[in-house]
Structure 1
Amino acid sequence: MGHFEELSQAVIAGQASKVVELTKAALQSGVEPLAIINDGLIAGMNVVGKHFKEGDMFVPEVLMSARAMGSGVELIKPHLSDGEVPNKGTIILGTVKGDLHDIGKNLVGMMLESSGYKVIDVGVDTAPEEFIAAIKEHEAQVLGLSALLTTTMLSMKETIEALKADGLRDNVKVVVGGAPISQSFSDEIGADGFAPDAASAAELVGKLLA
């Protein structure tokens, strides 16, 4: 069917108005709402993720694609019954205390949402106890921590220590990311995994929850 392909292309090109137009047309012609999400919108975002990983697309373009995809999903949501909305797991996402960077975190959130996870973004400059409160409130399976400053990297360790102290550490997978973060730092602070970029973060979460 041609319109899935066209819809994917519009997502890849970051054309939100075209995505809206094509999504409306598909809904009107009776295409399954879930198929529009999976075969059109998410299929396009998967290509974007690949391009981003290979360095053929950059953050501003990825953000435009994610926004375009989001505008399609918003239109479809009212047409889905509750059971149909995919939720492969709940993830709390935030930038650690003392750090105000959010572009990387937002990208990770978009990639995870487009892969079918429920993402609760607690924002930037988040203290360990705020992460813990969010995990309890939303019964999350994964905690994603972001830091862009070398000075705030240690807040990740403090957050993991706080999870242990609260007895939550065994129930939650902790993934970390951000420019100064490496696999060895992730191992050192006892995280479950490290992702160098947003596309890898979504893959990593999939592996950890499998």
Structure 2
Amino acid sequence: MTKRDRPHIIGLTGSIGMGKSTVAQMFVDEGVPLFDADAAVHQLQGPGGALVEAIEAMFPGSTNSEGVDRQKLGAAVLGDPAALQRLEQLIHPAVGEMRLAFLKQHSDRPMILFDIPLLFEKSGAEGVDHIVVVSAGPEDQRSRVLVRPGMTEERFEQIKALQMPDAEKRQKADSVIDTSRPLTETRQQVQKLVQKLKASLA
């Protein structure tokens, strides 16, 4: 698939707690098909998922009848770069295949959205035409993350340490969506960007 005979690919990313899922849904509301990398991973690791057996073999005790126990798996790899790398080498190719299938399925659309949490960290920027970074102030980020079930200050800091700093992401972005503002304003930012991209592709 060459760049000319496929949709314009928007890569959506942002650090934890920045409101990326909310913004992704706003793009969907504007008629842009979404491939959600996290949802793909959930599917691969859920009940009957394609990777459940391989993950259990790699990390014994990390799965049950519901598929992968994400908390147990997270505990097995957090703070162990070698274990995390082994897990990623298993997951990334499988997600890549699903993304390719999605691209073929929507090949007639003017643009599609790839929600890629670690777009910069894992060189997911390759093959993306326009990078959108979802961003908010540090206090907004912190307050959003710490209300999540099972989240602690220590875990939040560990996750943040694995992610490129927000300021760096903003610099690398083609567009930034600021979610520190009211939802209506965030939606307006998304609508304007979609209109702008459609106009540039026409």
When normalised by structure 2's length, the TM-score is 0.36
More helix by share: 1
TM-score (normalised: structure 1): 0.35
Which one has more relative contact order, counting CA pairs under 8 Å at least 6 apart?
A: 2
